[in-house]
Structure 1
C-alpha cells in the first residue's frame, strides 16, 4: 500500500496536534506513576494508530512503512518521550510474530483486543544471563499432552508489568542448545506461576519494565506460534521492523532537541544579545541539523525499499542498511541531546525540559534492539565481510 504525500502530511499534522494536547500535559504525571493509563491505549486505538500494518479482518489497517515511520517520528518529535512510545506501541514487537506465523485461531484470540486498546501485548526474549545472544536462551517449554510447561526468567521486558499477552522465546528442544531449539509461545498475563517485578531505570520512566519469572506455567499447546524450532527465524525478522522503527523514533527525538535548543537560543540573552547570535551556538545548531537531515534521507531511502514490494530490495544488503541506519540515527540522537543540553546550560540539567529527558533516554536507544557493536557485526556479515 502506498499513501500519497497529502495523506502522510495529514497524519503528521493530526499526530502533532494529538501529542501536544493529549500527551505533553500529562507526561510528568505518567512518569511519576511509572506507567501509562490504559485509557491512552484505547484513545490511540480509536485514532486507528495501534492497528497500522495489521490485517483488516483482525481490526487493523494495512499501511506502508512510510506511514508507520511517519507516525513514529512525529509522535517522538512532539511528544518527546521514548518511554511513552516504547510502552504505547509495545504490541508492534509483541504481535508481529503472531500476525505472520500464528494460526488463524490464535490471531483471532489475541490480536483484535490489543488493536482496540483493550489489552496490552509485550515481547519477552532477553534473559538475565544473556541479551543479544538469543540462541543461548535458557527458558524452557516442555510439552505435556495438550500443554507446554514453561520455566525460566526474562528481563528488561517493556510493558512487562501490564501485559495481557506475552510473546516469549522459549527452548522447546532441550537437546538442541542452539537456535533450532527455540520456539515462540504466547503466554497469557494471568497464567498461574507467572510473577513480575518492576525494574527502575535511568530513563523511560513512564514505561513499565519488568523481570518475569515462569515457575511451572502451563500454557495451552495451541498458543505455540507457528511450528516448534522456528522461533529464531521469527525473532530475526522481527528485529528488522523494530530497528527501522527505532531509527524513525531517534530522528523525531533529534528534531525535538533541535527545536527546543533553537527556541531557547532565540529567547536566552547573554552579554546583551540572544545566544543564537553567537557564532558558536549557530554552529552547534547546524551540526545538529546536519545529522538530522542525513538521518532523514537515509531513513526515507531504506523505507522506500521496504515498501517497494520487490523481495530483492529486502535481502541481506537491506538488512545491513537497517542495522547501520539504526546506529546512525541513534548516534545522531545522542549528539543532538548532548548539544541541546549544552545550549540550554543549567536549564538543560533541570527536569521538565524535553532535552533533559531525551538525554537520559538515549543510551537505551543505542542498546535496545541490538547494541551499536552488534549492529556493526551483523551488518558486516550481511555484506559478506
Structure 2
C-alpha cells in the first residue's frame, strides 16, 4: 500500500536547522522542507553529500540545482519526502504546466513565442499545436522516457491512441489518405491539414527527448507506407493502409543491405518470377532497417530480371528479423532481415515490375523534409538546455553565463537553429503551394541542401553543448542526459535519407542514374552536390560576370 503524503505545515528555518544529523536530517529546497532522515542512507550520491554542513538543516536550493534536474522533485517517491513549507514563502522554481509554452528565450520557434509574428501560421496551426502538445506531454512522454531505457517498442495501446487521433495519417503529410478522418479531436479538418501542420506534429514529437523511441514510433511507416499509398494496387492499398493507419499493423522500408547502403545497383536481395508469372521467390538480406524488429509488413527493394522491383512482403514463413545493437535505444527496432525462399504474389508489386527506382525515389523529398524538421527541433531543445544550465551553473562564484566564451557558444547555437528553422518554414510554404510534380522538379535540390545544413549544424551544436555542460555531458542520467543522448545519436541524421538523389517525378526520371547508383560514403556531401547540380541546370545560358 502506498504511504500517505504528510499534511503540509509551515516550518521555520530555525526548526529545520535543528535537524542536521544522521538519522534526523531535514533540508530546504525552494521554500519546501524535506525530511531526508530515512532517505539519506539510500541517496545515490552517498550519505556524505547530505551530511555536509552546507546541506543538512540548511537551504540547499542552490546546491540541489547544481546537481539535479527539477524533475527529480516531481517523482512520487521524492515528493512524499516533503513535510512542509517556509512561512510566507512560495516556491520560485516550477515546472511548466502541461502544454505550456517555454519562456526561455529561443526555446520555441518564433511563431510560438510571445509578441512575435509569422506569415505562415494561422489559428488552426496554433490550436493544433496546443492540443498536440498536451497529448504528447501527458500520454507519450512518460512511456517514451521509460522505453528509451528499457528498449521496449511503443505499446499497442499508445499506437491505437495515435490512430484514434489520426496522428499516424498526419505524419504522412497532407493528402487523400486523411479524407474522412477526425484529426486531433476535430481541432483541424482533413482539408485544412497542410505541411505546416505536419511540421508541428514532427517537432512536437521530437520534444520527448528520446531519440530511439522517437524513431521506433513508426519512423518506418513514414517511409515504408507511401509506396503502398502511391503505387499499390487498389485492393492491396486499401487493406494495408487501413491496417497500418489504425495501429493494428506496423510497416517498414527495407532497402539497405550490408553490401549496398546507398548503392542501389549493388542490391543482392533477389526476386525471381515463377514460370506461371503468379509469384516471386525472394532471397536475400536487408540491414539497418528501422522498426523491422516489430514490423508486420516490409516494403522491399529487390533485384529482378531487368532491373529493380519493389515488393510488399508480409511477415511470415521464410521472413526472420534479428535486432541490431546500435548506439541508441533498442526501442527503435533496428534489425537485420533475412528472406529465405519467400513466396510473394505478383499483386504485391508496388509500381511496375523492373521500375522500382521510381518508387524508391518518389518519397525522398518528403523524407528529407521530415528529417530536417526533426533536426531543427532537436537543436532547439539543446539550445534551451544550454541556456538554462549556463544561467544556473556557478563557477568561481559567478554564473557560467558570465563567461564570454560561453556566451559566444550560445550565440552560435542560437544562430544555427534560427537559420535552419527559417529555411525549413520557407520550404514548407513552397510545398504548400506546389503540386507534387513541381516539388519534385524545384525542391529536390533545396531540400537536400537544407538537410545537409541541418545535420552539419546539429553536429556543431552537439559539440558546443558538450563543452558547455562539461563532464555532465557524458553521463546518461542527470543534468546532462539530453546532451549526452544528443551527442551520441546526432551523427545518425547525416546518414539517414542521405545518399540517393530525389530529383524525380511520377511520370519521368530526369536524373543522373550513374550518380544515384554509386555508393555514397559521405551522405551530406552528396546532398550538397545534388543541390548545386539542380541549381546549375536552371542557370540561364546567357548570363556572364
TM-score by length of 1: 0.92
The SS at the match of 1:126 is coil
Separation in 2, partners of 1:380, 1:140: 34
1:358 aligns with 2:486: yes
Q: Which has the higher contact order (CA 8 A, sep 6+)?
A: 1
Separation in 2, partners of 1:16, 1:294: 24
What CA RMSD, in Å, does the superposition of the two structures yield over aligned residues? 2.1
Report the count of equivalent residues.
Answer: 376
1:115 aligns with 2:245: yes
Q: Is the 8 A contact 2:350 2:359 kept in 1?
A: no
Please, which of 272, 277, 280 is the counterpart of residue 148 of structure 1? 280
TM-score by length of 2: 0.66
Deviation at 1:28, TM superposition (A): 4.3
Deviation at 1:217, TM superposition (A): 0.4
Q: Is the 8 A contact 1:58 1:111 kept in 2?
A: no
Deviation at 1:210, TM superposition (A): 0.5
Separation in 1, partners of 2:465, 2:132: 24
1:182 aligns with 2:311: no
Please, which of 104, 110, 122 is the counterpart of residue 5 of structure 1? 122
Separation in 2, partners of 1:93, 1:113: 16
Q: 1:310 to 1:94 in 2, by over 3 A?
A: closer
Deviates more, 1:28-37 or 1:365-374: 28-37
Structure 1 residues 257-308: Cα deviation after superposition (integer angstroms, max 9, x where no partner): 1111111112211122221222222221111110001101111111111110
Q: Which has the larger radius of gyration?
A: 2
Deviates more, 1:90-99 or 1:14-23: 14-23
Separation in 1, partners of 2:251, 2:437: 32
Structure 1 residues 80-105: Cα deviation after superposition (integer angstroms, max 9, x where no partner): 23322322132110110111111111
Map of 1:172 onto structure 2: 304
Map of 1:42 onto structure 2: 160
Map of 2:213 onto structure 1: 84
Give 1:101-250 correspondences, 5 Å limit. Answer: 101-144=231-274, 145=276, 146-173=278-305, 176=306, 181-189=307-315, 191-250=316-375
Give 1:364-375 correspondences, 5 Å limit. Answer: 364-370=492-498, 371-375=523-527
Separation in 2, partners of 1:49, 1:112: 13
Q: 1:132 to 1:41 in 2, by over 3 A?
A: same
Deviation at 1:310, TM superposition (A): 4.3
* Structure having the larger proportion of residues in helix: 1
Map of 1:295 onto structure 2: 420
The SS at the match of 1:280 is helix
Structure 1 residues 219-253: Cα deviation after superposition (integer angstroms, max 9, x where no partner): 12211112112210111121111111000000010
Map of 2:95 onto structure 1: none
Map of 1:379 onto structure 2: 531
Structure 1 residues 72-127: Cα deviation after superposition (integer angstroms, max 9, x where no partner): 12221x21233223221321101101111111111111011111111111000001
The SS at the match of 1:79 is coil
Map of 1:333 onto structure 2: 458
Map of 1:349 onto structure 2: 474
What residue ranges of structure 2 are gaps of 5+ in the alignment?
1-119, 184-189, 499-522, 538-545
The SS at the match of 1:161 is helix
Q: 1:160 to 1:325 in 2, by over 3 A?
A: same
Q: Is the 8 A contact 2:365 2:443 kept in 1?
A: no
Separation in 1, partners of 2:282, 2:437: 39
